[in-house]
Amino acid sequence: MRRIPLRDAHTGMELARAVYNERGDILLNFGVRLNERYLQELGQRGVRFVYVEDPDTDDVVIEDVISQRVRLMATRDLFRVYSALQQVTEPLQRADAAQRRRAMHQRDFAARVRELPGWEDLQRDLEMVIEETMGVETFNGITTLRAFDGYTFVHVLDETIVALLIGRRLNLRREQLRELAAGCLVHDIGKVFVPKEILNKPGRLTAEEMAQVREHPRLGFELLRTMRPKELLANHVAYQHHERQDGKGYPRGLRGSNRVVRDAVANRTSGGIILHAEIAAVADVYDALSSDRPYRQALPPDAVVGTLRESAGPHLNREMVRAFLDILPVFPLGTEVLVRAGPRVGHRGVVVQVAPDQLDRPVVRLLFNARGERLPKPIELDLREEREVILTAL
């Protein structure tokens, strides 16, 4: 299989991976052959890339980190929880922050949010997601094909998976991984108080709108304290995931140490950012860079890696970014690439192999010449040996 821009897809091509909507439901499953109606609908829904079968890359198999069954269960349960919560909190969207906080501490409100449908099922899903990430050594990037419709539950799950992989790389204990996943699944829960027209606004936010958005970590923390008061560390992921190492984040301007501080309680009481929230911040930024947003398109994978490196230190915890980049290929399996320098400049191909010890030097199978014509026979370049070759992702 290979990943291609939707504009290059044509009728008769066979999907190699399913395409999901914002609730995690399958729009088009793998094995479906594209036709004009499907192509038009995917374009209207904001899908920009698809994975297709290709006889010259039929040996390239891209596995998701978690099974389709667990993914569907988790995203649907997330949708149930958030939908029920939005009904409970909708009257508070136009209230000011103080009014919202007062309402969240009222007894009837607490009773309603603690009995949300899907909440218990989500805890079961959480354990299955953790279990299925345990054996992953190299992350192939976010391969979920999403139809863009604002903030999605597929995004929440993908971000949780990334955080768990970073946590495993840092050798966190199972209980710490559970706390991390429990925090990441609802880290943006405070956005239920922010009007959708603000969250999905394609242009620049006004100062007033930005102030509303910046309240979501604090409101999310207050809401989670009402919903699950015993989950102290997990709740602080919602509170702190927008803090920065240099103290310029929000809502409290906490500072980080750019080290892995494993005593989360000590870090919280000393005014620092807890480990779980620092990991969540890396996962959040990675997913944001890799995803289409109302105001910009997703960055290609090599640009994502470069931006993460630049963000390490002032914004993101340097040690955690390093741990993540130790398992993240610069050019993931199945990525379409262009030879930018070296032999066969201008040729296009697909990444067919990634070596865990050299994540920036993949094996590429060239399929098209510099004029865009299909090669009669594919040519393989092993960048571990072809050191002068420079690629760029398409």
Of 336, 291, 364, 360, the closest CA to residue 142 belongs to 291
Separation of alpha carbons 299 and 360, rounded Å: 17
> Does the pTM exceed 0.85?
yes
**Residuewise pLDDT in 10s, the chain (394 residues):** 988 889 999 999 999 999 887 677 788 999 999 999 999 999 988 888 899 999 999 999 888 899 989 988 998 899 899 889 988 888 887 787 788 878 888 888 888 998 888 888 999 999 999 999 998 888 887 766 555 544 567 788 999 999 999 999 999 999 999 999 999 999 999 998 888 888 888 888 999 999 989 999 999 999 999 999 999 999 999 999 999 999 999 999 999 999 998 776 556 556 799 999 999 999 999 999 998 776 778 899 999 999 999 999 999 999 999 999 999 999 999 999 999 999 999 999 999 999 999 999 999 999 999 999 999 999 999 999 999 999 999 8
Quote the pLDDT of residue 200.
82
Quote the pLDDT of residue 203.
84
Instruction: Quote the tokens at residue 11.
Output: 């009728």
Residue 28: DSSP 8-state: E
Quote the pLDDT of residue 149.
46
Residue 106: DSSP 8-state: S
CATH number of this structure's domain 68-325: 1.10.3210.10
Separation of alpha carbons 290 and 308, rounded Å: 11
**Residue 167: other Cβ atoms inside 10 A:** 27
Run of H or E including 390: strand 390-393
Instruction: Quote the tokens at residue 78.
Output: 């997330």
Quote the pLDDT of residue 261.
86
Task: Give SS3 for 309.
Answer: helix
Q: Output the CA torsion 362→367→368→373 (10° steps).
A: 180
Instruction: Quote the tokens at residue 1.
Output: 């299989």
Quote the pLDDT of residue 291.
83
Quote the pLDDT of residue 264.
60
Separation of alpha carbons 307 and 292, rounded Å: 16
Quote the pLDDT of residue 150.
47
Burial degree of 88 (CB within 10 A; 0-12, 13-18, 19+): middle
Question: Contact at 8 Å (CB) between 362 and 314?
Answer: no
Quote the pLDDT of residue 265.
59
Instruction: Quote the tokens at residue 217.
Output: 């970590």
Separation of alpha carbons 322 and 312, rounded Å: 8
Instruction: Give one DSSP letter per residue of 331-382, joined into a string.
Output: S-TT-EEEEEESTTTT-EEEEEEEETTEEEEEEEEEEE-TTSPEEEEEEEEE
- Residue boundaries of the structural domains of the chain: 2-16+33-57, 68-325, 336-393
- Residue for token pair 């069954």: 69
Length of the chain in residues, anyone? 394
Of 12, 11, 30, 130, the closest CA to residue 70 belongs to 130
Question: Contact at 8 Å (CB) between 366 and 339?
Answer: yes
Phi, psi of 325 (to 5 degrees): -70, -15
Query: Which residues have a Cβ under 8 Å from the Cβ of 233 and sit 6 or more positions away?
Result: 179, 183, 264, 265, 268, 274, 276
